[in-house]
C-alpha cells in the first residue's frame, strides 16, 4: 500500500468523527453536489465559541473522504477563529494531495464555512 493510500485509510477507517450529531444544538453545513459525486456534510456542536464535537458524512473520492476526516479531527476543540484559519492548502499538504484532487479540501473548507454561517445566524 503506498504512503498516501495508507494515510487515507487510517484517516477514514479510524475516524471517530464519522456520522451525524443528534443530541443538543447542531450546526450543519454541506458542500458539493450529489450530481458531481463529491459531497461533504459537516455537523458541529459549539460551546463557549469552541467546537465541542464534530461529525461528518462524505461521499465521493478517497481524497474527499480523507479531507472530511482530516478537517474534523483538526477542528475538534478549536475556537471558531482557529478553525476558520485552517486553509485548503494546509489540508492538501497534510494529505499529500495531487493537483487533480485540489477540489476535495475546498469542499471541506466550504462545508465548515456553511456550518459556521448557521451558527452565526
CATH number of the domain at 34, please: 3.90.1010.10
CA 9 – CA 20 distance, rounded (Å): 20
Which residues are CB-contacts of 23 (< 8 A; sequence separation ≥ 6)? none
**Single pTM value for the model:** 0.91
Q: Which range of residues forms the domain containing residue 103?
A: 3-120
Report the number of distinct structural domains present in the chain.
1
Residue-wise pLDDT tens for the chain (121 aa)?
577 777 787 878 888 899 999 898 999 999 998 777 899 999 999 999 999 999 999 999 999 999 999 999 999 999 999 999 999 999 999 999 988 898 999 999 999 999 999 998 8
- Judge contact between 63 and 101, C-beta under 8 A: yes
Amino acid at each position: 500500500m503506498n504512503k498516501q493510500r495508507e494515510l487515507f485509510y487510517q484517516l477514514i477507517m479510524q475516524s471517530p468523527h464519522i456520522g451525524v450529531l443528534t443530541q443538543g444544538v447542531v450546526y450543519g453545513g454541506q458542500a458539493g453536489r450529489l450530481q458531481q459525486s463529491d459531497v461533504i456534510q459537516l455537523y458541529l456542536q459549539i460551546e463557549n465559541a469552541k467546537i465541542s464535537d464534530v461529525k461528518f458524512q462524505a461521499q465521493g473520492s478517497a481524497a474527499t473522504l480523507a479531507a472530511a476526516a482530516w478537517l474534523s479531527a483538526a477542528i475538534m476543540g478549536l475556537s471558531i477563529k482557529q478553525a476558520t484559519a485552517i486553509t485548503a492548502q494546509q489540508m492538501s499538504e497534510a494529505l499529500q494531495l495531487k493537483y487533480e484532487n485540489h477540489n476535495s479540501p475546498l469542499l471541506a473548507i466550504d462545508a465548515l464555512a456553511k456550518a459556521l454561517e448557521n451558527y452565526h445566524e
